[in-house]
Amino acid sequence: MKQRLGVLVAVGVLALGAAGTGTAQASPDTHGCPAGEIFATNNTAVITDPDDARLRTRLTRFDHEVREIIRTNGARPGASTLLDGVFWSGDLKQTTYERSREFDVDKVGADGLHHIADVIRKQYRQESVLTFRCLPRTSPDTDAVEIQAPGVSAARLREALLANPEARERLGGGSVTLGGRLILITPVADLPMARQLTAELGVDWNTARVRYGDEEFVS
C-alpha cells in the first residue's frame, strides 16, 4: 500500500454534527469486528493501466502465505477478502491500480498486529502495510474510521476520484471488493470528505456502515 490508502472500507453509527455535516447517521456496525485487520499486497510495481493482466490475479498463494505468517506469530487468521484498489498518484498525476487482500486477524493485540504487519512488509518488500483495529469512539487511541458501502465498482471509483481533486488528494483513493463493496479507512478529520465522496458515488449513506478505530501504516 503505497499512498495513504483511504481504502473505502467498513462503517458504524456516526453522528456528524461535530464535524459540521449535520446529524445524518450511517447504519450501526458495532458487532463482529475482528481484533485487527491487515491490508496488504505482494505487488511492487506501479500499475497505471486498469486492463493490466496483473490486476486479475486472485493472490491465492499470497493469501495462504500471509495466513501462515499470522499463525506463526501467535495470532489466528480469519476471513480474507480480495480487493481492487484505485489510488491517485500526485507524482504521476494519474490514477494507479492494485490488487490486494484484507486479512482479519483474531487473538492479537496492538503490538502483535504491528509486528505481523511488519513481517509482511519486509517479506514482500512493501513501503508500508495498513492495519486497523476497531475501538470505541471515545477511546484515546481512536484516530480513524473504516467505512463500507455497497454498490460501487472500481471503474466508478476512478471516475469519482478524477472528478474530485480535493477528495483524491486528501483521501488518496480507495478499494472495492469483487462484489462491489466500497472500503475506505480515513482519519476521523476527513470523514466529511469521505461522506461527500460516497454521495458522489451514488451511495445512500443509510446503507453504509462505519467503525471507529486506530489505523497504522507500518513502515
What is the average pLDDT value for the chain, to the nearest integer? 88
pLDDT grade for 26, boundaries at 50, 70 and 90: low
The answer to whether position 202 is within a domain reads: yes
pLDDT digits (tens, 9 = 90+) for 124-152: 999 999 999 999 999 999 999 999 999 99
The answer to whether position 10 is within a domain reads: no
The answer to whether position 6 is within a domain reads: no
pLDDT (average), residues 186-196: 95
Residue 96: beta bridge partners?
Answer: 87
Domain that holds residue 120: 17-218
186 within 8 A of 18, measured Cβ to Cβ? no
DSSP string over 37-101: EEEE----S-B--TT-GGGG---HHHHHHHHHHHHHTT-EEEEEEEEEEEEEETTTTEEEEEEEE
pTM of the complete model: 0.87
The answer to whether position 8 is within a domain reads: no
The answer to whether position 59 is within a domain reads: yes
Domains: count for the chain:
1
The answer to whether position 7 is within a domain reads: no
In the predicted structure, residue 87 carries a pLDDT above the cut 50: yes
The answer to whether position 4 is within a domain reads: no
The answer to whether position 3 is within a domain reads: no
Cell 489505523 -> residue:
215
Which pLDDT value is given to residue 32? 78
